[in-house]
Amino acid sequence: MRKIIIPPIKCQGIKSKLADWILEFVELQKGERWIEPFMGSGVVGFTLQPEKALFCDINPHLINFYNSIKKGEITSKIAREFLEKEGSLLKEKSESHYYFIRERFNETKNSLDFLFLNRACFNGVIRFNRKGFFNVPFGHKPERFAKAYVTKICNQIEKVEKATQTFDWQFVCQDFRQSILQSNQNDWIYCDPPYFGRHTDYFNCWTETEELDLFDLLAKTKSKFILSTWHSNQYRNNSEIEKYLANFEIVTKEHFYHVGATELNRNTMIEALVINFPKLKPQSAKVLYQSQLFI
C-alpha cells in the first residue's frame, strides 16, 4: 500500500481513495513521462512522484496555483501566514468575509484567495459561472481554519514544493486535446475527465462532443493510457463506455462518493478504468469483457 499524497486543492471526484488501485497498473520506466490532460486534484500523479510530468487543466486558477508553488511565490510559510490571517477574520465575520474573499478573487484571481475559497466553500466544490466567476456558496464553518487544519494544508503544500524542486514537473493551462497530441510512445497518459452525464460544471461544460474527441484521440495515441470513468450505479449504466470495449481492457472497482448536498445523493458507484496495454491484473480488479457488460 503506497502512501497517498493528498493535494492542497480539493476537487469534486478526487481520486484519493482510488489512487493506489489506479497506480497498480502503472510501471513507469526511467525516461518515461507522466501526462495528465485533466489534472484536477493531481492526486494520482502526485502520489506516483514521476521524474518527469506534464500536468494540464483548462482551469487557469488551478494551474496558476501550482505554478506559484513551483516558482516559490507560494510556500508553506506564506500560506500559513495568509490562512491564519484570513481564517481569523472568517471566524470573526463569518460568511461576510467569505463573500468578500470570493469577490476579491473574482477581481484579482489571486492564488491564495483561490486556496482559501476552495477550503472554506461548500463541500470543497470548484465551480464557475459562465462569466468565469467562482460562485460556490459559503460552507457554513466560520472556524474552518483552526490551527490543526491550517497545518494540514501547509504540510500538503510543502510536499508539492519539494516535488517541484526535485522533479521535472510542468503545469500548463490547455485543452485536453493539445495535451494528448503532445504525447508520444514514451509517455503514460492518465485521463480523469468530467464524467459525461454526471459532472458538467467543473470549469466549463463537458458534452458529447468532448467525449467523442477524447475517445478518438485515445484510440489513436501511441502512448500507454489509463482512463478513469464510471461504469454504473444503482440507477443506470454508463452507455459511453461501450465504445471502448472492442479494443481496450476495462476493469472495475466499487467506490463510494461523498460528494452531494445530502446523504441521499451520496451513493456507491462502480468505477471503471480503460487501459490500452497488456497488464497482469491486480487481485483488487474485476476484468470486464463485452459479453459481461450490461446484462
* Interatomic CA distance for residues 6 and 133, integer angstroms: 26
Cβ pair 92, 170 in contact under 8 A: no
C-alpha 267 chain-centroid distance: 19
- What single-letter amino acid sits at 12? Q
**Residue 29 covered by a domain:** yes
**260 with 189, same domain?**
yes
Q: Is the pLDDT of residue 148 over 80?
A: yes
pTM of the model: 0.88
The CATH code of the domain that includes 251 is 3.40.50.150
**224-233 and 33-36 beta bridge pairing:** unpaired
Reported confidence tier of residue 279, pLDDT bands at 50, 70, 90: low
Q: Where are the beta strands (DSSP E) in 81-208?
A: 168-173, 187-191
* Residue 2 belongs to a domain: no
| Tens-digit pLDDT profile for residues 50-104 | 999 999 999 999 999 999 999 999 999 999 999 999 999 999 999 999 999 999 9
Q: What is the pLDDT of residue 287?
A: 46
Do 104 and 50 have their domain in common?
A: no
Spatial separation of the C-alpha atoms in residues 244 and 231, rounded to whole Å: 12
CA atoms 9, 13, 14, 17: torsion sign: positive
Residue 80: partners with Cβ closer than 8 Å, 6 or more residues away: 150, 151, 154
Residue 178, in any domain of the structure: yes
In the chain, the number of structural domains is 2
* Pairing, β 249-256 against β 187-191: unpaired
Residue 216 — φ and ψ, nearest 5°?
Answer: -60, -40
190 plus 283 within the same structural domain: yes
Is residue 11 in some structural domain?
A: no
Of 134, 135, 141, which is closest to residue 110 (Cα–Cα)? 134
Which domain does 24 fall in, by range? 19-58+174-292
**53 and 179 assigned to the same domain:** yes
Of 211, 208, 169, give the one whose Cα is nearest residue 193. 211
Average pLDDT over residues 177-200: 87
Residue 64: inside a domain: no
In 199-232, which positions are buried (b, 16+ CB within 10 angstroms) versus exposed (e)? beebbeebeeebbeebeebbeebebbbbbbbbbb
Do 209 and 288 lie in a common domain?
yes
Q: Residue 82 belongs to a domain with what CATH number?
A: 1.10.1020.10
Looking at 131, 160, 189, which one is the last position of a domain? 160
Domain shared by 178 and 210, yes or no = yes
Q: Is residue 44 domain-shared with residue 179, that is, in the same domain?
A: yes
Residue with the larger pLDDT of the pair 211 and 264:
211
Are residues 139 and 186 part of one domain? Answer: no
